[in-house]
A and B are shown apart, each in its own frame.
Chain A
Amino acid sequence: MFLLPHLLSQLTELTATHHNEPISQVTENHDAYLIHVELPGARQETLKVELNGDLLSVEVSRPSPANVEQGELLWSELDLHDRTLRYRLPRGLSREEISATLTDGLLTLRLAKATPARREIPVNQAPNAAA
């Protein structure tokens, strides 16, 4: 069962957008939302993913390339600096089932949808009020 589409728009990025902002894309399947963030050059040891209440933050520290002998920068379309991405999570997500996977510079955050808990409510018999 798919959640309503408007929940997707609640998964907003709170960081200011600038020109070379890492590109992220949100997709949805039947049991989870997936946030794909493109972070070329990022490695596991330089990533920190944290959940604080309903705020999910991704801290990337990308040190300048190991080979410092790159020389003189002539032109760049890449902005591979340190940055933090923040997402405010909508309701309807399981706070426990969140996973982060980094492969080939692509970070995938998997946010499982919460299965509504079923609970039976007992019916109490109250004494007859007319007595």
Chain B
Amino acid sequence: MNANCSHHDAQGHIRTSQPKARLYRQGAGWTLQVALPGISQEQLKVEVEGGCLRVTAEGARRRFERSFKLPRAQELDEVEASLEAGLLTLKLSAVSPTRREIEVQSA
């Protein structure tokens, strides 16, 4: 059960809530899906700063905000975001590790 029955606080301001999410991994990358019902593209903001990915959305009835700590941020190549039917899908692809050949010394 939701502890907060209303999306508004005592003063009538819209509460900011954390949207629910789920995470997939495929190969060297990840897919993060965030549920933002009622949110359209213009109301959504996705930012990456430091090792954090922040999702902020402000709709007519709901306000969402959540930050996700990125796994091994230094290896992130790019973030691809798409929003459909209130579901945000973020594809995080990792840079392929550079190949390095080790020279074998003969004793």
Chain A residues packing against B (C-beta within 8 Å): 17, 20, 23, 25, 36, 38-43, 65, 67, 69-78, 103-106
Contact = CB atoms under 8 A, between A and B. Distances in A.
B69 to A, nearest CB: 13
Q: Tell me if A's interface is mostly helix, strand, loop or mixed.
A: loop
Contacts of A23: 2
A17 B1 contact: yes
Given A65-B33, A103-B40, 7 more contacts: A17-B1, A23-B2, A40-B37, A70-B24, A75-B22, A104-B36, A106-B61
B35 A78 contact: yes
Contact count band on B: 20 to 34
Contact of A105 (B22, B85, B89): B85
A104 B2 contact: no
Nearest to B41: A104
A70 B33 CA distance: 10
Q: Which 6 residue pairs of A and B lie closest in terms of their CB atoms, listed nearest first? A: A105-B86, A71-B26, A76-B22, A106-B38, A38-B37, A40-B35
21 contacts: A23-B2, A38-B38, A40-B35, A67-B89, A69-B26, A71-B31, A74-B23, A74-B24, A75-B23, A77-B21, A78-B20, A78-B21, A78-B22, A78-B33, A104-B39, A104-B40, A104-B85, A105-B36, A105-B39, A106-B37, A106-B61
